[in-house]
Amino acid sequence: MAKSKFEYVRQFETVDKLLPNSWIVVRIDGKNFHKFSDIHGFEKPNDLRGLSLMSESAASVMTEFKDIILAYGQSDEYSFVMKKDTTQYGRRASKLSTTITSLFSSSFVFLWPKFFSDKPLQYPPAFDGRCVLYPSNKNLRDYLSWRQADCHINNLYNTCFWTLIKQGSCSPKEAEERLKGTVSGDKNELLFSEFNINYNNEPEIFRKGTTLLWNLVEEEVTSGQGTEFEKTVKKTRRTVQKIHKDIIGNNFWTEHPELLGTEVR
Ligand code: DGT
Ligand code: MG
Ligand code: MG
């Protein structure tokens, strides 16, 4: 077909194909969720419904993008790890990040009423998204450890902050002052000695965040029942599994050798 004289403008598009043989992480994060969580009356410091909505939106992304081997989420963010040799969208960074981010956002809005039936959405939320490449397994594990350590640090701080306000009758300013310069041991001690809270007994979803993995289920499927063509075949179905565990230490990775080793299809 003849090309129009305008066709040349295509050359202005930049090529953003990601390096081969590297882990691709797409991280999405809520835009101004400080305001969003306030306006929608999220529980402080953690809203279980909000976190569940984030995870179900992430699961819908995983179901659509089969090359995602694992997703990790906490607060208003989710990281999607795509297998090293994915050829999805020719590894084009903007195509990957924008499609994943927009599917996450639309799922979040679509699923909202399931989690907040009593609270209509007040305005359309937005998420940013980026692709980051990690060339080695160590880099990838360190990346995920960084996000889980961030979850822990923020959650310990926020648990203290809101306990001081809700149970200790502190003002936000006073709570901030009390926590200034404290290390994690001090915060654990404050919770235990003043409020009888053992931080380690706080729900794992808050302390560890959420990891989504593929669960492979072997099934027998029968077709042509009652006819001479009846046959039963074994099929593997993949479902998304949600866990709230430590992913920094070696245990998780030795329990799931398929993640960093051979690919999951
Ligand atoms: P950004 O990402 O630069 O557009 O700005 P924010 O405000 O989204 O900041 P970010 O992503 O660093 O921090 C997440 C905010 O979301 C933080 O202010 C706390 C809030 N948030 C996240 N999950 C919850 C929750 O379960 N409950 C409440 N109350 N707030 C939450
Ligand atoms: Mg945010
Ligand atoms: Mg965030």
pLDDT confidence of residue 145: 98
Distance CA 194, CA 192 (A): 6
CB-based contacts of 90, cutoff 8 Å, min separation 6: 17
Lowest mean pLDDT: which of 14-23, 74-83, 214-223? Answer: 214-223
Q: Is the pLDDT of residue 263 over 60?
A: no
CB-based contacts of 8, cutoff 8 Å, min separation 6: none
Contact (Cβ atoms closer than 8 angstroms) between residue 182 and residue 65: no
Distance 29 CA to ligand 2 centre (A): 5
Give me the residues paired with residue 239 across strands. 215
Over range 144-154, report the average pLDDT: 98
| Ligand 1 close to Cβ of residue 30 (< 6 A) | yes
Helix (H, G, I), strand (E, B) or coil at 134: strand
pLDDT confidence of residue 265: 35
| Ligand 1 close to Cβ of residue 130 (< 6 A) | no
Measured in degrees and rounded to the nearest 5, phi and psi for residue 215 equal -110, 125
Q: How many residues does the chain have?
A: 265
Contact (Cβ atoms closer than 8 angstroms) between residue 212 and residue 245: no
Over range 38-62, report the average pLDDT: 98
Please write the tens of the pLDDT for every residue from 172-181: 999 999 999 9
Q: Is the pLDDT of residue 182 over 60?
A: yes
Distance CA 127, CA 75 (A): 13
pLDDT confidence of residue 261: 85
Distance 77 CA to ligand 2 centre (A): 7
| Ligand 1 close to Cβ of residue 76 (< 6 A) | yes
pLDDT confidence of residue 2: 81
| Ligand 1 close to Cβ of residue 150 (< 6 A) | no
The verdict on whether omega for the bond into residue 45 sits within 30 degrees of 0, i.e. cis, is: yes
| Ligand 1 close to Cβ of residue 210 (< 6 A) | no
pLDDT > 90 in the chain, percent? 90
Distance 127 CA to ligand 2 centre (A): 8
Please write the tens of the pLDDT for every residue from 238-262: 999 999 999 999 999 999 999 998 5
Give the ligand with the smallest distance to the CA of 33. 1
The tokens of 25 are what?
């992480």
Q: Is the pLDDT of residue 101 over 90?
A: yes
Give the ligand with the smallest distance to the CA of 37. 1
Distance CA 90, CA 183 (A): 46
pLDDT confidence of residue 262: 52
Q: Is the pLDDT of residue 201 over 80?
A: yes
pTM, to two decimals: 0.93
Domains of the chain: 19-208 (3.30.70.3000)
Selection from 263, 174, 169, 167 nearest residue 214 by Cα: 263
What single string gives the DSSP state of each residue in 170-217?
--HHHHHHHHTT--HHHHHHHHHHHH---GGGS-HHHHH-EEEEEEEE
Report the mean per-residue pLDDT for the chain: 95
In terms of Cβ atoms closer than 10 Å to its own Cβ (0-12, 13-18, 19+), residue 234 is: exposed
Place of tokens 């099934």: 219
Q: Is the pLDDT of residue 24 over 60?
A: yes
pLDDT confidence of residue 200: 97
Q: Is the pLDDT of residue 264 over 80?
A: no
Over range 16-26, report the average pLDDT: 97
Q: Is the pLDDT of residue 113 over 90?
A: yes
Measured in degrees and rounded to the nearest 5, phi and psi for residue 91 equal 60, 30
| Ligand 1 close to Cβ of residue 29 (< 6 A) | yes
- Give the DSSP letter of residue 1: -
